[in-house]
Chains A and B, each alone.
Chain A
Amino acid sequence: AQSVTQPDIHITVSEGASLELRCNYSYGATPYLFWYVQSPGQGLQLLLKYFSGDTLVQGIKGFEAEFKRSQSSFNLRKPSVHWSDAAEYFCAVGAWGGGADGLTFGKGTHLIIQP
């Protein structure tokens, strides 16, 4: 079965600084990988996804993520964060085949932006 680890429960970053959120996955085949963001009391919004091809994926709101098969990682990055980026970020891996169509999410990383 697949699993996702987000090692950092909380991260604090100064506004304007760069950001990297870590995600490690475990899956026996080629992974389908996603990053979602959740603002307080809201549902989840898809930031970006990786299926195949270029290992550097561009998403919305200036985010990007890099798939590294050798490290089983899919870290999310942003060169300069804004106060509005404060939220909960979830990495997820998708199952494939056998009728399974659920995503397995990590526990999330809470991003705090300080002025």
Chain B
Amino acid sequence: DTGVSQDPRHKITKRGQNVTFRCDPISEHNRLYWYRQTLGQGPEFLTYFQNEAQLEKSRLLSDRFSAERPKGSFSTLEIQRTEQGDSAMYLCASSRGGATNYGYTFGSGTRLTVV
């Protein structure tokens, strides 16, 4: 069990550029979640997958955001045409079964800074 891995740890990008983050969950976990955390706030739910199916998306996930989990293993989160308001920590978590039953295991996050 190597935990949840996220790459990169930090990303600085210019406004208007596209960025993509990767998350590798714990191998036996079938559920994968993306959260966003801004300074001084708790994490906010974005979306989650059960295997390769995206089962829920928050209203926070605008059209510029897209997440995939093509083979039910790793996941990517892409932000197109980044804005300064996208600057945040993007956290990935995984769970064996439902989070309400088991809780999450979080990764260390990707910190995005849009300049």
Question: CB within 8 A of A101: which of B31, B106, B109?
Answer: B31
Contact with A along B1-37 (1 / 0, CB 8 A): 0001000000000000000000000000001010000
In the bound complex, do residue A44 and residue B56 qualify as a contact, i.e. CB atoms below 8 Å apart?
no
Which of B48, B106, B108, B109 contacts A102, CB < 8 Å?
B48
| Interface flags, A16-35, vs B, CB<8A=1, else 0 | 00000000000000001010
- Is B115 an interface residue when CB atoms closer than 8 A count as contact? no
Number of interface residues of B (CB under 8 A): 27
User: Closest chain A residue to B47 by CB distance?
Assistant: A102
Tell which of A95, A103, A107 touches B104, judged by Cβ atoms closer than 8 Å. Answer: A103
- A residues near B (Cβ < 8 Å) are 4, 32, 34, 36, 41-46, 49, 51, 90, 92, 94-96, 99-108
